[in-house]
Structure 1
Amino acid sequence: MEQENQNLQDDVTETATEGQEVQAEETTDPRSREELLAEIERLAAEAEDHKTRYLRAQADFDNFRRRSRQEKEEFAAYANVSLIEELLPVLDTFEMALKTSEESDIKTLLSGVEMVFRQLTTALEKNGLAPIEAVGQPFDPNFHEGVMQVQSDEHPSNTVVMELRKGYRVKDKVVRPSMVQVSQ
């Protein structure tokens, strides 16, 4: 108990000494009370100005983020418009072929379907679609989907022998792998 009282007295003595040092510092400052108050007022105004600027910058950033999100959503909604515009003539040709199919022979209908196929292929190629070469190529799981293995004396092992479904890519991205038979 005596030890606690001694510690408490030491703390009070230290606090009193610190208070005297603070008073000594206050009395040694050459500025008057009015000058110090003016300095505090100036610093408070400066702090308020910084706070206002910060809040404006935060609001500007929030607005920028909202506008960016809206632009991104709008871009995604209308990204395919150019492709659709290129496919509309293909749709028109299909429509004409269906109307004339009742009155024409098979040869005319076949030439119409070939025309539609060419138009469709051209429109898709303009937009970056390219077929994946498969037959005779080494099997690559990145481009080919192997569904069967067959014995082949003509082709080396692990080579694509037959393409069952054509694969496509857009630039470097595979849209659909080729479905293939692979030699053993």
Structure 2
Amino acid sequence: MSEQKRAPETGGDASENGAGTAAVNEATAEAEALATADAQIGVDDGEKQRLEAEIAGLKDKFLRAFAEAENIRRRAEKEVADARTYGIASFARDVLNVADDLARALGSVDDAAKATAEGGLKALLDGLELTERGLIKALEKHGIRKIEPKGEKFDPNIHQAMFEVPDPSVPSGTVVQVVQAGYVIGERVLRPAMVGVARGGPKAEAASPGKEAGAA
């Protein structure tokens, strides 16, 4: 009888041992699953960082390429604008010779002769003056302006001094005679004005900052 009672106790211990083993196996499986998940998460984070770095690199390349394309576009626009404005510079210089010839022809006749001219001579002089005015207007239409600096302060950027004139009545450095008119095209000098400059007079006053700003 005693032996029969021990058997169930032994069976109960086996059952408990089996349940404990199952619990251990389950815990081990969960731990392994967690370790695998952690490893997988680690791989995903690394891949994410790599992709983010690649995206940042591509963005930087795109911004650089966009900036370069914008610079090229601006340079092209400036070149086109310059070509429109200054493309006729060589032709304009040749036309200036015609303007000079007209001016010399008109300058060879004094005011008294012009005032008393009659008949064919008067018609000729009137025609020359009309032609000269038309030529100047045509040049201005294409951005070419005449420089007549008499009475202005000498500016080496747009004037070329040919000689000095002793004249104490005007400030030194004043343009008192224009030998040949100058011309500018756009913001560039097409031909400097050839001038005579006064010397011996008082020094020219420097322009005040306010006047310079207004002139600019």
Please, what TM-score do these two structures have when normalized by structure 2? Answer: 0.38
Q: Which has the greater radius of gyration?
A: 2
Please, what TM-score do these two structures have when normalized by structure 1? Answer: 0.44
